Chain A
Amino acid sequence: MKKTENMVWRFFASVRLALFSLLILATTSIIGTLIPQKNPPEFYVEAFGQRTAQLFQMLDVPNMYNSWWFISLLLLFSVNLIVCTIDRLPNVWKMVVMNNLDTDPERLEKMPHRQEFYARGDAAALAEIATGLLAKNGWKAEGETKPTGSLLFSQKLAWSRLGVYAVHLSILIIFAGAIIGSLLGFKAGVMIPEGSATDTVYETGTEKPIPLGFTVQCNDFKVSFYADGTTPKEFRSNLSVLENGKTIIDKRSIIVNDPLDYKGITFYQSSYEPMQGFNVVITNKATKVSQSFQIPFGQKISWPEGGIDFGVINQEVRSRMGDVNRLKVWFSDGQGDPSIFWMANNATQTISSPAATYEFEASQVYATGLQVAKDPGVWTVYAGCALMLIGLYVAFFLSHRRVWVYIVREEAADRCRILVCGASSKNKIAFEKEFAALVECFTHDSTLQNA
């Protein structure tokens, strides 16, 4: 029993398995980039034939990144990471906190970097000089008197050994964030015509209605274009949020890359749809009386208080989507001939009749397309990402460096042997230089060279 347990443990703790799962994840991930994802079943039958399509459905290929086997691979990867960490971290932790003054003198003799000196004098005095030399090189030393002599020790960045584990932990944190998001969050979308409001959005893919618990109103939507007339420059919606009849957020503008957030639900500007209708504002310039309307295309509208009849009788459409470029207006206040004119969308036209002058403002009605997301895991994911970057930096560029100076009195020769030695957790070449500089300093000190 013990033995199999051990074997299972060793299997999950092995880096070989990590290499394997990294490469398997890499190769299987390719599938989903070659075979289009999340299309309806008919698509696969048409593209790959009945047989293959069936096989695909069986293996969840059309939605492979959420399939049982891909998730299992990720799980294997995580278990590997966790077991590997539990297996190794205790030893690394010991390295970080251990008392290096307890290091066995035998081991000092075998350090990768060493240099010895001989000097007259007693160990304690020499230790003091050595401490000074260490400090001069940026090594703050602690010392201990041993039965055999004096041992000095200094280290830099011991905690950097934990960098690797920060990276590994960060991967698990990111997974945790993703799980939180997929369990407690949703992705949805909604179209809201200008002047309308909604308290429900529709889940992406399934179109399942999701109640928001509050109401979002689109007051206004504007699309602007670059000089070329076809490339959209900005989509801008003006939204309000209402809850229990109270306005919570009043007239906030959102654009792509600048969403609105309320109660953890975020509204992203994503698209728009032109509608068959216009927002019209008519102002009598003399009386300053003004009225706004939302009117359908091709219908005569009456405004009895103003004594006016009007309508949009023709339109010039710019794009396949139905963006109106110009509209043709019929307008009459009952005095003289009606005015019939073309005007640009989103503009104001002045109309003069024998009786009065009017301002006629018209813009096509749009529906704003919002993506709606709730993802309570996103900050966990971001925290994981930050930790990963910090951890990678530490793991790659910082190293744990240690130096010892061991001074042993050799009574027979009436001198002391001074062993300067050191080791670094990585980046040996850089440490070699650092160590050489220290040795150089010892070499130039005359009191350490007098035997």
Chain B
Amino acid sequence: MNSSQLLGITTLAYLLSAMLYIAIFVFRAKKLGLIATVITACAFLINTAGIALRWQESYQAGIGYAPLSNMYESLVFFAWAIAIFYLGLEWKYKNRILGAFSMPFACLSMAYASLSPQFGKEIKPLIPALQSNWLIAHVITCFVGYAAFAVASGMGIMYLIKDRKANEAPGSLLASLPELKVIDDIIHKTLVFGFLWLTAGIITGAVWANSAWGTYWSWDPKETWSLITWFVYAATLHARFTRGWGGRRIAWLAVLGFLSVIFTYYGVNFLLSGLHSYGGGS
């Protein structure tokens, strides 16, 4: 068994998990609840084992690095972070419908990592600039933040769906979604959590850049886009706690913010160029 196989299984397990949660929502199949949670927890553990095994394999290959150093590995970690964040959310709010709007992100991330021919999955040696503990801290903090933002956008979508037909009859599909007030609260808490981690991510990135090149900030496109994302979320949070925004507007901003995250993460690597272009497929 090698890490690619384990991570392949992870992809299937997240797919199963996402489908179960969607089934719980769409068919109101409450009985599937426990199974969905168990499958998700197992998928998460297999994901963890896959990362750990890849780590070990890199040592066996005589390279030895934390598997957080290229696009493939970061997508795998992204899925991992979404899964654990979601499990925490489910545990806290005791609501499995949230899974229908969260786990698809983990599934998509893994599927994209596994299936896209764009990035190599082989363990490649690290160029000197990437050999830094700050890089590890940077990737972890950023992706924990991104995971929260992914879930927040899922909750935003859920809010917008529910709100559009708020006055539907009780017992209908949308009535099974949490109350708008609750979704709004989850969005806010998730954004706040993500914002703290994104801030830490930008800071650790700056410290890394400073130790490698002597400049903590050079306005390269990746840095700039992470700052743009940070501005978007800062504005969102201020709109909420100082101007009392909530509901639809914040839900939309949660979605917009996540689009900015995707662009920072994906768009910059493939559409723009800069220091971080090592993250690309080549």
| A residues in contact (CB < 8 Å) with B | 15-16, 18-19, 22-23, 25-26, 29-30, 32-34, 36-37, 65, 178, 187, 226-228, 231-235, 255-259, 266, 268-270, 371-373, 375, 378, 381-382, 385, 388-389, 392-393, 396, 429
Contacts and interface: CB of A to CB of B under 8 A. Distances in A.
Contacts of B207: 382, 385
B63 interface: yes
Contacts of A269: 128
A268 B224 contact: no
A269 B216 CA distance: 16
A36 B227 CA distance: 17
B219 interface: yes
Contacts of A228: 125
A257 B131 contact: yes
Contacts of B127: 231-232
B120 interface: no
A205 to B, nearest CB: 12
Q: Is the interface of B mostly helix, strand, loop or mixed?
A: helix
A22 B225 CA distance: 14
Contacts of A234: 128
Contact of A385 (B192, B196, B206, B232): B206
A30 B221 CA distance: 8
Give the size range of B's interface with the partner: 35 or more
Most buried by A among B206, B235, B274: B235
Given A32-B219, A65-B219, A393 B129 contact: no
Contact of A232 (B124, B128, B211): B128
Contacts of A187: 214-215
Given A19-B239, A375-B214, 9 more contacts: A19-B235, A19-B238, A29-B227, A30-B224, A178-B217, A256-B212, A385-B207, A392-B195, A396-B196
Nearest to B204: A385
B243 interface: yes
A233 B224 contact: no
Nearest to B63: A226
Nearest to B273: A36
A26 B192 contact: no
A388 B199 contact: yes
Contacts of A266: 214
Contacts of A231: 124-125, 127
Contacts of A393: 196
B232 to A, nearest CB: 6
B268 interface: yes
A311 B214 CA distance: 40
A396 B125 CA distance: 40
B179 interface: no
30 contacts: A19-B239, A22-B232, A26-B231, A26-B235, A30-B224, A33-B224, A33-B274, A178-B217, A226-B62, A228-B125, A255-B128, A256-B129, A257-B128, A257-B132, A257-B134, A268-B212, A268-B213, A269-B128, A371-B213, A371-B214, A372-B214, A373-B214, A373-B215, A375-B214, A375-B215, A378-B210, A385-B203, A385-B206, A388-B199, A392-B195
